[in-house]
Amino acid sequence: MGATFTIAIIYIISIVISLIDILVDVGDTAVDAATAGTVGVGTNTVDLVVEFILESIQIGLLLFVISLAPGELISNNKFYIGLFVFLSFLDIVCTIGGFAPYFDFVETPFEFISETVQNSLIAQFLF
């Protein structure tokens, strides 16, 4: 019960991190759209720093969840663990791509999808 409760708390923290990440991304996209990209370099720089920090925290949370999980659960989910890290990497790459004009309109939907998948992967350790 203790490990499951801890994983549930980590899952909630991960969802909050994802929401913050998505809100920063949407804010960057909105500023780009409102200013025709003239302020985009500044907002995208903030987005990139926030993205890197939050994705690093989420990977750390996943590693902590893995440390609590039984061995057979980890060995059965190596693909999903790799997918989680790969999506974090792609999120950062997409944020870097956000420096290109109008790429934020690709980045934002991808961010939403990848954060949903990442939180689903953490959730599977609850069951």
Q: Is the pTM of this model over 0.95?
A: no
| Alpha helix (H) residue ranges in the chain | 2-34, 40-68, 71-76, 78-97, 104-123
Tens of pLDDT, residue by residue over 84-97, are 889 999 988 988 88
Q: What is the pLDDT of residues 66-86, one digit of tens each?
A: 887 777 666 677 788 888 889
In this prediction, residue 17 carries a pLDDT of: 94
What span, in angstroms and rounded, lies between the C-alpha atoms of 51 and 93? Answer: 10
Mean pLDDT of 51-60: 92
CB atoms under 10 Å from CB of 62, counted, come to: 21
pLDDT score, position 28? 85
Q: Does the pLDDT at position 12 exceed 90?
A: yes
